[in-house]
Structure 1
């Protein structure tokens, strides 16, 4: 009888506790927004923090609450962005992707060495010894701390310099946080003109430590027809909103501190059948590379054309192609 009584009491307590827990669950239940769940499921789950939030869960909550854009995940592809936009009932506007870039070209071949470093192969450790082994104390040390923290295999060390594959970069920003020299910055993915230098010292001081550093000569600034590059604190900076990728600055830079693939430079070409001779292209060309009389077919002088694309943008008949 004692055992039966004990079992009955225990069972009764269990029933009472179960009822109390069920009531508590109803009273204190936290409603979960179904959109949060759906958005979270659409995200890739990298939890890299590249979006600026703690992880995918935090981003999903922010998107559902309207505090983050539907294309806020730099790792997700276009299809994922469109799916999230559909969940939220909006359109996935394509914002230009930004990627990390090492603002330095001071590889071991061109950068002078201050001393021979035989310590731990670590950028922070090397930077603690007289600012690093390279004579330029503003440049990349090349020991690969950024490569170690990159979860996407987007960074390689080539000749003592970190090189980032922009097609693999997810803009997570881990490399930027890790670099003790703060030499890594975000740049627009599509931009092909980049000042590959981080040194703000005067020209002679830069020349003494690196042959491909920016010397602040302002030749790029003087030759830019679009006011897209300016020298501030002895260092040239590109205004990506104004840059047309004409690469005149790349061509004119005496130290080749400005990076750009001149072989990929495009030239304007007028499709003669469609040209109405309105002269709009000629009037807007900043280098007078287009000739032609009113109401007659115009032609582009390839020797003068800098490939800025202004004429193609302005042509009302869209008969100018860049190739």
Structure 2
């Protein structure tokens, strides 16, 4: 048995020597220059994987949305490469139906998580497509970019958002989407119903009137499943004018944070509050 162990030991030693992959001596230095958050915003599983991609030339330093501009330039200088230009992205919420807008039909007293509440319905809301409002996204955000407002909706601070995607994963309703920060037309509803049927659930629901699609340049906005879909590659230019005739505020022109102000609007002769 001892002899067999010795043989295997020799085989492993030889295999280790023959199959050894030389590691770039710069790898540790590059990894140390990265923030170490391992957030995955770059699309890779951690900072070391990103460092390996940098050394392989398959990405650029600006691909790390967490690093400061100074750190990105330092890494570029270290590697003798161009820092690159990254398009800033931010998490946007496709719902504006908080406590003041979505109709409450029950008092939820279960586990205080969105994931738990989603298993039994809508945490008291009649709308089963909108934000549950228990803050799983806020807990999941490692960068403190999400806070729950008094209306029970998550507010993302663009300056703090790294587009890591943790909120996208945490939301059981798939309401978050990572969008380029310079795309300002945001659909703030996910209800696939139309007209009064949609408004019976939430006063800021999209009623599928289609006015935004009518007012937009051809190809920019199309109605799909009673909801507007924005495609910046399909047409343009995008201007605030395309959302101005929306009767409920379900589609908004957003610069900076979402959901910061409420204003009264009229819908079919009745007044209610909408979140902007």
In the superposition, the TM-score normalised over structure 1's length comes to 0.68
Alpha-carbon distance in structure 2 between the residues aligned to 1:59 and 1:203: 48
**Secondary structure of the corresponding residue to residue 220 of structure 1:** helix
Stretches of 4+ moved more than 4 A in 1?
26-30
Within a 5 Å distance, the mapping from 1:1-323 to structure 2 comes to: 27=17, 30-158=21-149, 159-225=151-217, 227-241=219-233, 242-260=235-253
Alpha-carbon distance in structure 1 between the residues aligned to 2:212 and 2:64: 35
Superposed displacement of residue 237, structure 1: 1.7
The Cα offsets for residues 50-95 of structure 1, whole Å up to 9 and x where unpaired, read as: 2222211111112212333332212112222233333443322312
Unaligned runs of at least 5 residues, structure 2: 1-9, 256-276
| 1:46–1:167 distance in 2 versus 1, CA, 3 Å | same
RCO comparison, higher one (Cα < 8 Å, 6+): 2
The Cα offsets for residues 34-55 of structure 1, whole Å up to 9 and x where unpaired, read as: 3423321221111112222221
Superposed displacement of residue 245, structure 1: 4.3
Superposed displacement of residue 260, structure 1: 2.1
| 1:171–1:261 distance in 2 versus 1, CA, 3 Å | closer
Alpha-carbon distance in structure 1 between the residues aligned to 2:238 and 2:74: 33
| 1:131–1:120 distance in 2 versus 1, CA, 3 Å | same
Cα-Cα RMSD? 2.4
Alpha-carbon distance in structure 2 between the residues aligned to 1:92 and 1:253: 42
Unaligned runs of at least 5 residues, structure 1: 1-19, 263-323
Alpha-carbon distance in structure 2 between the residues aligned to 1:88 and 1:213: 50
Superposed displacement of residue 157, structure 1: 1.1
Superposed displacement of residue 230, structure 1: 1.5
